[in-house]
Amino acid sequence: MATGNGGGAGGSAGQGGGGIGGGNCEPELSDSLRTFGAVLKALREEARLTQEQFAPLVRYSVAYIAKIEQGKRFPPRDLLDRSEEVLGAVAGRVLKAAARSLTRTAGLASWFRQWAGIEEEAISLYAYECAVIPGLLQPEPYIRALFDRRLPPLSEEQFEQQVTARLERQRLLAERPNSTFSFVVEQALLDRRLAGAEVTYALLSNLLDAGRIRNVEIQVMPRLQEDHSGFEGPLYLAETVENRWVGYVEAHDCSMLVTDTKAASAMLQRYGKMRSQALSHQATASLLEQMRGAL
- List the chain pLDDT tens, one digit each, 295 residues: 433 333 445 554 444 333 333 333 344 446 778 888 999 999 999 999 999 999 999 988 888 899 889 887 778 777 888 999 999 999 988 998 888 776 543 333 445 667 777 888 899 999 999 999 999 999 999 999 999 998 888 888 878 878 877 887 888 888 889 999 999 999 999 999 999 999 999 999 999 999 999 999 999 999 988 889 988 889 999 999 889 999 998 877 677 888 899 999 999 999 999 999 999 999 999 999 999 999 9
Residues 6+ apart with CB under 8 A from 58: 65, 79, 82, 83, 85, 86
pLDDT for the residue numbered 210: 96
pLDDT for the residue numbered 152: 87
pLDDT for the residue numbered 22: 35
pLDDT for the residue numbered 190: 96
In the chain the first and final C-alpha atoms are separated, in Å, by 43
CA distance 26 to 8: 10
Sheet containing strand 216-221, strands side by side: 2-5, 254-258, 245-251, 235-239, 124-129, 180-186, 216-221
Secondary structure of residue 219 in the 3-state scheme: strand
Q: Would you say how long the chain is, in residues?
A: 295
pLDDT for the residue numbered 9: 53
pLDDT for the residue numbered 2: 39
118, 75 contact by CB (below 8 A): no
